[in-house]
Structures are given as structure tokens and as C-alpha cells.
């Protein structure tokens, strides 16, 4: 409670941004459900997935654009209203019988809402750096990460429950109301945010591409940041490959036979989420004497243990080792975010943060495609692939360090 009392305005904007994250996930289940019900289900699901993934990749430019803008509090309000209008449009579309064309239009609107959400996050980043003391930054990022993990699960669950009682169009309208509420909160605290903005140095670089290029240079020229970044990105990629391999594994594994395979997959997801929550919540206190690099190397070792657990056909060891990796990743991620926020100047912090976040999520889509292909080569290929993946993580780290030494 002391942290919230110490930083009341930060708590308000972090809570409001958290509501925005809820809005991001609330309608995702409705879109997926619609996609799977269409005759062209595979194509439809791909379209929905792309609409969720692409906004993060465009964050390279959105962060740089946010750094160039003054009056960020006004833009936060406008963004929230824009997202409300987009979901009103989606609600209108869902009043009609669903076709692939209408789903494509709804996905485009969902994509635009995602872009707007990432833009808002970039606009908020300088406020965090200005409001929170450097000594408390890891705790702040740990609280944000913990809340995001929990709300991501709860928002998905809430979306599913709402669909049981309301039409999909009604859920879209409720989401629009949520963004109106978010805009209203930003409007109420705008005088305080405007006061904080007086301390900002705005990046007035004319060329957006030059600014984005400079952001990459600032990241890649720092060997410590780059090493931690690639390790975290590849660790995220491990989880992208784990779930599909686990789904194939449990078809022939007889542990926990009294529960269905979908529940086993949900159990793995729950353990990973719980591990991330535990790690994030204890990031500022647990294993403080170990660097991010050291903890990541331990995670690399446990990836090998996961591969071994698959080979010995032990479901419980897979769950245990995956949970340990999730805890370690939960510890490291807020520390890394705090390092980025405190290291780089406010003038280009939005662009730096969004660039880092985009790089962190590049690996999971790739590994989720590559790992399921390995069993077609040999039944053990995917399991051995985890050993190779662990070695790659170590080699990438050593290569980056040697090149920059």
C-alpha cells in the first residue's frame, strides 16, 4: 500500500492503462468464435490472429511518433474515444449474419484499435519515468507486469462469460463503453498530467524513419541491453513452441488420465501464467544478487530439462520445469523494463520501449510454427529441438558479448 500512496498519480494512469489492456482482450474470444464458425474457418482464424499480432510489429514507428508529440494527455483522451468508435463499428457489423467479408472488416477495425492502444502505451511511457523514482522502478514494473498477467487471463475469461449471456454485438458495445470510461478518467486527471508534461523534452526529429533507425542503434550499440533483449525474446519464443508440442505429447501420455487433454493444455497455461505472476510480484526482492544475464542462463538450463522431461515421458516434470522458467522470466522482465526506462532519456523513451516490446514478441509466432513441424522429421526431433534451442540461447549471448567487447 505504501507504493500506491507514494505514487498516487502513477497508480491512476497504470490502472487506467490496465483497463485499456482489458479492452484489448475482451472481444478477442468473440472474434475467434465467429472465425471458427465460418466455412472458411482456417483462413478466418488466421485473419483474426493477424489483426491481434500486427499492431505490435508497427510499434516501431508508433513509439517514435509518440515521442514527437506534445500535449500527450490530450492524445490519450482522443485515442480512447477513437477506440470506442471503432468498437461501436464492430458492434454494428455483428448485428448482421456473419460472413468472411464482414469478419475481415471487423478484424481491420480491431487492428486499428490495437494500433491506437500501442500508441497510447508509448504516450504513457515518459510519465512513468518522470513520476517514479529510479530506486522504485523495478517494483513499479513488477506491479504492472503482475497486473497485466492477471488481467489478461481475467479479461479473456470475462469475454467468454459475456458471450454466454449477451450477443456478440452487445459485448462490442460494452467494450466501447469501457473505452469511453477510460477516456473520461484521462480527462479527469488531465490537469495533473499536463503539469507533469512540463518536465518532458519532446523529440522534434522531422523524419520518422530516422528516429526509428536511431532507436534501433541506441539498443543495438549497448551490449548489456542487447544481450538481455535477445535472451528474453528467445525465452518468450520457447513458450511459443512449448504449447503445440505439449498438445501433441499428451495424446500419447497417460498421466492425469482423469482430466481431458484441453484441460491439461489449460493447466500448462495456468502454471506458466502463475509462474509469471509470482516472478513479477517478487521481482524487486527475490534473487536480487543475481543479474538478469545469470538468471536467463539458468532459464536456458531448464529449457534443456524440459526437453529431457519430454524424452522420459514425464508430464509432471514438464509442468514443473516450465513453471520454474516462467518464474525466472517473471523476475527478469520487470527488471529489464526498469533498466530500459531509467537508462534512456524521456525524449525518445516511447520509441525505445515500443521497439523493445516489438522485438520481444517476434520469436513466439516463429517457434509456434517451427516446433510442430519437427515431429514430422522424427518423433523425438521436437524434444531434442529444446536442447538445441537452449544451446542457441547461450551461443547468441556469447556472440553478442564477444562482438561488443
DSSP per-residue string spanning 299-351: HHHHHHHHHHHHHTT-HHHHHHHHHHHHHHHHHHHHHHHHHHHHHS-GGGHHH
- What is the dihedral sign for C-alpha 182, 138, 146, 109? positive
Q: Are residues 119 and 34 both part of a single domain?
A: yes
For 307-316, what is each residue's pLDDT tens digit?
A: 999 999 999 9
Place of cell 513452441: 241
The band of 404, judged by pLDDT with boundaries at 50, 70 and 90, is: low
CATH number for 165:
1.20.1250.20
Closest to 348 measured CA to CA, from 188, 202, 210: 202
**Do both 314 and 339 map to the same domain?**
yes
Whether 208 maps to a domain, the answer reads no
Single pTM value for the model:
0.75
* Number of separate domains in the chain: 2
On whether residue 400 sits in a domain, the answer given is yes
Residue 74 belongs to some domain of the structure:
yes
Average pLDDT, the chain: 82
Q: What's the Rg (C-alpha) of the chain?
A: 22
Task: Determine the Cα–Cα distance for residues 130 and 196; give it in Å rounded to an integer.
Answer: 7
What's the pLDDT band for 401 if we cut at 50, 70, 90? low
pLDDT level of residue 86 (50, 70, 90 thresholds): very high
The answer as to whether 207 is a domain residue is no
**CA 257, 263, 268 angle in degrees (round to 5)?**
100
Across 3-7, 197-201, 301-305, which has the greatest mean pLDDT? 301-305
CB 111 within 8 A of CB 54: yes
Same domain, 220 and 189: no
201 pLDDT band (50/70/90 cuts)? low
Least confident interval from 69-83, 124-138, 163-177, 227-241: 124-138
The predicted model gives 274-278 an average pLDDT of 87
298 and 228 share one domain: yes
Structural domain ending residue among the three candidates 151, 179, 202: 202
Expressed as residue numbers, the domain containing 176 is 2-202
Among residues 202, 232, 259, the one where a domain terminates is 202
Which of 202, 235, 263 corresponds to the end of one domain? Answer: 202
User: What integer pLDDT is reported at residue 81 of this predicted model?
Assistant: 93
Domain contains 209: no
Residue 380 and residue 385: Cα distance in Å, rounded?
8
The answer on 265 and 182 residing in a single domain is no
pLDDT at 171 over 60: yes
**Cβ-proximal residues to 338 (8 Å cutoff; 6+ apart), any chain:** 137, 138, 140, 141
Mean pLDDT of 95-113: 90
Eight-class DSSP state of 226: H
| pLDDT at position 322 | 92
Q: Does pLDDT of 184 surpass 90?
A: yes
User: pLDDT category, 77, cuts 50, 70, 90?
Assistant: very high
Amino acid at each position: 500500500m505504501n507504493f500506491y500512496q507514494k505514487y498516487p498519480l502513477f497508480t491512476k494512469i497504470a490502472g487506467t492503462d490496465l483497463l485499456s489492456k482489458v479492452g484489448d482482450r475482451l472481444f478477442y474470444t468473440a472474434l475467434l468464435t465467429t472465425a471458427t464458425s465460418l466455412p472458411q474457418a482456417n483462413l478466418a482464424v488466421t485473419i483474426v490472429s493477424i489483426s491481434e499480432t500486427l499492431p505490435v510489429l508497427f510499434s516501431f514507428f508508433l513509439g517514435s511518433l509518440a515521442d514527437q508529440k506534445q500535449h500527450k494527455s490530450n492524445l490519450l483522451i482522443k485515442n480512447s474515444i477513437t477506440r470506442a468508435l471503432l468498437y461501436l463499428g464492430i458492434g454494428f457489423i455483428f448485428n448482421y449474419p456473419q460472413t468472411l467479408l464482414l469478419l475481415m472488416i471487423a478484424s481491420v477495425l480491431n487492428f486499428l484499435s490495437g494500433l491506437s492502444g500501442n500508441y497510447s502505451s508509448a504516450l504513457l511511457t515518459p510519465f512513468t519515468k518522470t513520476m517514479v523514482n529510479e530506486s522504485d522502478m523495478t517494483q513499479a514494473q513488477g506491479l504492472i507486469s503482475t497486473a497485466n498477467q492477471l488481467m489478461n487471463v481475467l479479461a479473456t475469461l470475462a469475454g467468454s462469460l459475456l458471450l454466454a449471456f449477451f450477443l456478440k454485438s452487445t459485448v462490442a458495445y460494452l467494450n466501447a463503453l469501457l473505452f469511453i470510461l477510460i477516456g473520461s478518467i484521462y480527462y479527469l486527471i488531465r490537469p495533473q498530467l499536463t503539469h507533469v508534461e512540463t518536465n518532458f523534452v519532446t523529440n522534434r526529429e522531422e523524419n520518422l524513419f530516422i528516429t526509428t533507425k536511431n532507436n534501433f542503434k541506441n539498443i543495438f550499440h549497448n551490449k548489456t541491453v542487447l544481450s538481455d533483449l535477445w535472451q528474453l525474446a528467445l525465452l518468450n519464443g520457447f513458450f511459443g513452441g512449448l504449447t503445440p508440442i505439449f498438445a501433441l505429447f499428451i495424446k500419447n501420455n497417460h498421466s492425469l488420465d482423469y482430466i481431458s487433454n484441453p484441460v491439461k493444455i489449460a493447466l500448462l497455461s495456468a502454471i506458466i501464467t502463475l509462474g509469471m505472476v509470482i516472478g513479477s510480484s517478487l521481482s524487486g526482492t527475490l534473487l536480487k544478487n543475481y543479474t538478469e544475464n545469470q538468471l536467463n542462463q539458468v532459464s536456458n538450463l531448464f529449457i534443456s530439462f524440459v526437453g529431457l522431461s519430454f524424452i522420459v515421458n514425464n508430464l509432471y516434470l514438464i509442468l514443473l520445469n516450465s513453471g520454474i522458467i516462467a518464474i525466472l522470466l517473471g523476475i527478469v522482465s520487470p527488471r529489464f523494463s526498469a533498466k530500459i526506462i531509467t537508462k534512456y532519456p524521456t525524449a525518445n523513451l516511447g520509441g525505445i520501449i515500443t521497439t523493445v516490446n516489438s522485438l520481444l514478441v517476434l520469436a513466439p509466432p516463429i517457434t509456434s510454427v517451427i516446433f510442430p513441424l519437427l515431429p514430422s522429421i522424427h518423433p523425438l526431433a521436437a524434444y531434442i529441438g529444446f536442447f538445441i534451442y537452449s544451446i542457441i540461447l547461450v551461443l547468441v549471448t556469447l556472440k553478442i558479448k564477444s562482438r561488443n567487447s
